[in-house]
Amino acid sequence: MSHQHFCHIAGHYWDCDGKVLRPADTEPSTCICLPCGLPVEGFDHTKCGDAVELLACPKHREEALRRLAVARQEFHRRAGEFGLSEKCKKMQSLPEGAEKDTLLREIKAWILQGCVERQHEA
């Protein structure tokens, strides 16, 4: 029995036998149903919906890893310019109140801005 993943690099579905090498792993890991948390293979998932894990197929894995490395570099560059580390440390040290809330809103806005910018680049 097999299931499918969606290759976000090339835009196609691909068949998986239940274990796959994910970007951060060095060994294949068991595919888990996102809605219920059980392994995809060997269980009835008819009530779980049609959740599909976005995962580059073996043919496009290297391109996915390359893009991930570029995205990490860009994130670290932007985080440094924004002062994310310092702002997070400051926020954690502040007592509950208006100053902490303002800083939290600023950090959230920065994160969301990065997401929107990446969507427009795609």
Q: Per residue in 53-64, pLDDT tens? A: 899 999 999 999
pLDDT at residue 50, rounded to an integer? 80
Please report, for the chain, the start and end positions of each structural domain, with discontinuous segments joined by +: 1-71, 83-121
Structure tokens at 40: 């995809």
For the chain, list residues with pLDDT below 50.
none
> Considering only CA atoms, which of 46, 68, 48, 61 is closest in space to residue 14?
61
pTM of the predicted protein model: 0.71
pLDDT at residue 10, rounded to an integer? 96
Tally of residues, the chain: 122
What is the C-alpha separation between 30 and 4, in angstroms, rounded? 13
pLDDT at residue 46, rounded to an integer? 87
